[in-house]
Amino acid sequence: MSGDAALRADIVEIGRRMYARGYTASNDGNISVRLGADRLLMTPKSVCKGFMTPDMMCITDLTGRKLEGDRDPSSEMQMHLEVYRQRPDVQAVVHAHPPTATGFAVAGIPLDRAVLAEVLTTLGSIPIAEYATPSTKELPAAVRKHIKAHDGMLLANHGALTVGSDLYGAYYKMETVEHFAKISLVARLLGRENLLSREEVMRLQDLRGSYGIKAPAPICAEAQEDASCQIVQAPAGDGARLVPDIVRRPAGADGDGEIRLTYRELSALIEEAVRSLR
């Protein structure tokens, strides 16, 4: 298969997966990939992404002018064009309406809490781009604010957008966004969401390099006006961890002489004390 044919086949397969997983309904969603320096291969408008064939794709230039294809390119093409303009490193863009992530986008709740190590090392935080009418020029403007620092974002009252260094990379980030949204929803329904500490977040950030993960921006704990980093909510200090350290600290070591014991150790001590009183 030539490169073009392989990419057409990849778009068909990713469209099929997105539809099968319920990330899109009806004709929702769109997928694009760079074809060399100045052209894009893109899904057509008004087609169910679950039933595409390779010949349906359009080829456009970077201004969105159609160069090849019987069908017109996606109505949300402008959003894709804006991503390619802002991020020369990005090779592929995926947009869908996965229900749980989109629920967070509707509720106005970003996925920016330090909860899962894998999400932190790959996507960092997942902000929400302000609402804009789909297929208008306002939507690319809303995306522009966040795309330089993020590979994935929610679109307020609309859906989600992910980008990558190839088609599957962009698609897997969409899976991660939806998976993270589901886990966050379950944790919040259960009434507790233990956050990783800021120190742990910084350790995970250091791991990015050793895993060869190329993130577009560093993680930061404080909000920056220019959205130049990935803001993650994580408590300062070595407090909240998913699994608390169970250690016996020597008296006076941390000021108040606190000693932490497991339930079993505490029970054994009480038994011993009771025995000594007999």
Q: Which residues bind Zn ion (CB under 5 A)?
A: 159
- Residue 269 to residues 110, 244, 246: CA-CA distances in angstroms? 46, 21, 16
> Nearest approach, Cβ of 108 to Zn ion (angstroms)?
17
> Nearest approach, Cβ of 33 to Zn ion (angstroms)?
18
- What are the helix (H) ranges across the chain? 3-20, 77-86, 99-107, 117-122, 138-147, 167-190, 198-211, 263-277
Dihedral angle at the C-alpha atoms of 89, 62, 143, 160, nearest 10 degrees? -80
> Nearest approach, Cβ of 263 to Zn ion (angstroms)?
51
> Nearest approach, Cβ of 97 to Zn ion (angstroms)?
6
- Rounded CA separation 125/112 (Å): 5
> Nearest approach, Cβ of 145 to Zn ion (angstroms)?
18
Closer residue to Zn ion (CB): 159 or 164: 159
Helices and strands: H and E segment counts in the chain: 8, 10
Closer residue to Zn ion (CB): 86 or 135: 135
> Nearest approach, Cβ of 81 to Zn ion (angstroms)?
15
Closer residue to Zn ion (CB): 132 or 229: 132
Closer residue to Zn ion (CB): 159 or 235: 159
Closer residue to Zn ion (CB): 17 or 208: 17
Q: 104-108: long-range contacts at Cβ-Cβ below 8 A with a sequence spacing of 24 or more?
A: 104/128, 104/154, 104/181, 104/184, 104/185, 105/154, 105/155, 105/156, 105/157, 105/158, 105/159, 105/160, 106/156, 106/157, 108/156
Closer residue to Zn ion (CB): 10 or 76: 76
Count of Cβ atoms closer than 10 Å to residue 213 Cβ: 14
CB closest to Zn ion, residue no:
159
Closer residue to Zn ion (CB): 44 or 159: 159
- Residue 273 to residues 56, 140, 149, 248, 269: CA-CA distances in angstroms? 79, 70, 59, 19, 6
- Rounded CA separation 36/41 (Å): 10
> Nearest approach, Cβ of 159 to Zn ion (angstroms)?
5
> Nearest approach, Cβ of 219 to Zn ion (angstroms)?
28
Closer residue to Zn ion (CB): 137 or 203: 137
